[in-house]
Every structure is written in C-alpha cells, then in structure tokens.
Amino acid sequence: MFILQQKDHPKFKRKGDDLFYEHSLFLTEALCGFQFVLTHLDNSQLLIKSNPGEVVKPDQFKAMNNEGMVMYQRPFMRQKIYIYFTVDFPDSLAPEQ
C-alpha cells in the first residue's frame, strides 16, 4: 500500500485534476494587453496573453484546456489550468496620466 502526501506549491493550487495559478497585472496591462511566460510544474513553458481589445477585470479567471493535471489512467490527457488575475491599481495618478 502507498500513501501519497501532496505538498503545497507557492504558485499552483490543485482542485481535482484542474490547476489554479495566480498572476498579478499592472493596470496598464489589464487595460492595454499583456503577455507572460508561465513555467509549468514540469518546467514546460506556456505563453499566456490577452486577446486584442480584451480588458481583464480584477478577480477574473482565464481557462486553458489540456494544461492542467494529467488525468488518472489517461497519461496523454490533461484537465484545465485556470489563471486567476489580480490587478494592481496605483495609489494615485499624475494629472498628465
């Protein structure tokens, strides 16, 4: 008999076969677009970017199929990864901004 113990990860959280990842955006990125590289648990890299004209709201999720945990007894199939966005608002803006 095997007993597996799951460790907490600083960036990823697991819920079933789905993964959750939190990422902070600056206000300009949330309004004007963003892209960043997410390093996955297996060290593969995913390019995450917004669609043209897309505005990201605080506490919004973006789901990506086939990028979550490997499915039980289906080693070539994966569930979803959800990216949870927080938006860093500035404390103040200069008049010209």
- The residue range of the domain holding 47 is 12-88
The amino acid that residue 77 corresponds to is M
Supply the CATH number for residue 23's domain: 2.60.260.20
Q: In whole angstroms, give the CA distance from residue 22 to residue 38.
A: 10
| 97 in any annotated domain | no
Instruction: Judge contact between 37 and 47, C-beta under 8 A.
Output: yes
pLDDT tens readout for residues 4-53: 777 888 889 988 878 999 999 999 999 999 999 999 888 989 999 999 99
| 3 in any annotated domain | no
- How much is the pTM? 0.80
Total domains, the chain: 1
| 1 in any annotated domain | no
Give me the count of residues in the chain. Answer: 97
| 23 in any annotated domain | yes
| 5 in any annotated domain | no
| 39 in any annotated domain | yes
Enumerate residues 6+ apart whose C-beta is below 8 A from 65: 80
How many secondary structure helices (H) and strands (E) does the chain include?
Answer: 1, 8
| 63 in any annotated domain | yes
Q: Which residues, in sequence order, are bridge partners of residue 13?
A: 20
